[in-house]
């Protein structure tokens, strides 16, 4: 077992859900790519809001509304600092990565795409970064085309560069593949796309929990992610955009908060970021997310990332030495995701038998059906590690796989 480089037990104490039995066995949670667990600080911040400050934001003329507004907007400022965004006004609250990409596809896409234009996405994208573009492209006569991915799960940069021409208006790629763990070379993709005049949207849902993201250094036009992938609550997302693009885009939805004036003669819209935030927002979610960012800033993230990489290396070495396991996604540059199949067994059956032993993994196509079709498989078993996982839990996973094999093979 590798030498411990990170005080994982100290961190685990902050996550109450990890300390329980499932099916008579201590829980081993290996599904953080689907959703990360929440530390006490996040749970307490949400509870405190509902216990003490519950009120709508921005328009109230009383103390509760003032307190709620201050905490709500403080969370936005924390996200801006977390991403190194130039201004908190460039941070738009949404319901998640999916809605953030839909916002860009509809507000930027419908204003800028024309018949014959092209949108490029990688072949291993989550459906949320394919379907919104298809819907808009179909309506406008544009096309959505896949950037080739090789057998290891690595984007073919040469093929991508060859695809670029003046008809490519948007390149939308994941920072990290949720299905394979591949870290995509978004810096190079952005530079190549910009050189031909295309804009770039980055789906950062699977990246933000693993390392610091600097949107100014990346020079991306849009960056989207979800709070629940970053130890925050579900139902809240973030969209960062360059100011000049956001200013030029029409609103996504109509209603309260996103307006400046309304009359039957016409409506004028609010300033950023409120132009894109119709209706009562997820106030508790934003406050809880602010607490999640504070929590992350309180730990040594470089040590946490090194711990995750050590877990992945340990798990993949064990997989290579275990008969019947085939790793899917072997890019040289990966986050802590191990996707695999047990030859002769359906991934869903493997997942059920692991769950019986207290091991929580994800099975299926992971909302990335095109890349699964490319591999010619219905899906994988995906074990995804976070900094609260241990080497002993990896051992538990492989012991459970060996037991599952006695039933399946």
Question: Catalytic residue numbers?
Answer: 367
Distance CA 379, CA 377 (A): 5
CA distance 71 to 155: 41
Q: Kindly report the length of the chain.
A: 409
Is the C-alpha dihedral spanning 70, 73, 79, 83 positive or negative?
Answer: negative
Q: Which residue matches tokens 């208006």?
A: 169
1: how many CB neighbours lie within 10 A of its CB?
10
Q: Taking the CA of residue 25 as centre, how many other CA atoms within 13 Å lie in the half-sphere pointing to its CB? A: 17
Give the tokens for residue 163: 């695809």
Pairing of strands 118-122, 359-360: unpaired
């Amino acid at each position: 077992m590798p030498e411990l480089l990170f005080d994982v037990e100290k961190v685990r104490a902050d996550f109450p859900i990890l300390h329980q039995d499932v099916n008579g066995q201590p829980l081993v949670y290996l599904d953080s790519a689907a959703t990360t667990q929440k530390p006490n600080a996040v749970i307490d911040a949400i509870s405190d809001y509902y216990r003490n400050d519950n009120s709508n934001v921005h328009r109230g003329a009383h103390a509760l509304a003032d307190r709620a507004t201050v905490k709500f907007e403080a969370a936005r400022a924390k996200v801006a600092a977390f991403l190194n965004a130039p201004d908190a006004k460039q941070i738009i609250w949404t319901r998640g990565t999916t809605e953030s990409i839909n916002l860009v596809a509809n507000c930027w896409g419908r204003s800028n795409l024309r018949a014959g234009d092209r949108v490029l996405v990688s072949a291993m994208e989550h459906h949320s970064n394919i379907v919104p573009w298809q819907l808009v492209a179909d309506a406008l006569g544009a096309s959505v085309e896949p950037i080739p991915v090789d057998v290891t799960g690595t984007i073919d940069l040469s093929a991508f560069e060859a695809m670029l021409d003046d008809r490519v208006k948007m390149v939308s790629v994941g920072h990290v593949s949720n299905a394979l763990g591949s870290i995509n070379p978004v810096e190079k993709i952005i530079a190549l796309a910009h050189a031909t005049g295309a804009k770039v949207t980055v789906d950062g849902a699977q990246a933000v929990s693993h390392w610091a993201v600097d949107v100014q250094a990346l020079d991306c036009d849009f960056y989207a992610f979800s709070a629940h992938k970053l130890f925050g609550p579900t139902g809240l997302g973030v969209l960062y955009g360059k100011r000049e693009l956001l200013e030029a885009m029409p609103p996504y939805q109509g209603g309260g908060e996103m307006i400046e004036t309304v009359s039957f003669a016409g409506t004028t819209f609010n300033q950023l970021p409120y132009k894109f935030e119709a209706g009562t927002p997820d106030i508790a979610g934003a406050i809880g997310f602010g607490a999640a960012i504070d929590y992350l800033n309180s730990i040594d993230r470089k040590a946490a990332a090194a711990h995750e990489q050590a877990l992945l290396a340990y798990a993949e070495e064990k997989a290579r030495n275990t008969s019947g396991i085939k790793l899917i996604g072997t890019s040289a540059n990966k986050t802590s995701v191990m996707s695999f199949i047990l030859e002769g067994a359906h991934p869903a059956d493997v997942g059920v038998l692991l769950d019986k032993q207290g091991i929580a993994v994800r099975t299926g196509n992971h909302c990335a059906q095109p890349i699964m079709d490319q591999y010619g498989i219905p899906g994988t078993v995906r074990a995804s590690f976070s900094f609260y996982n241990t080497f002993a839990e990896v051992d538990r996973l492989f012991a459970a796989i060996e037991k599952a094999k006695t039933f399946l093979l």
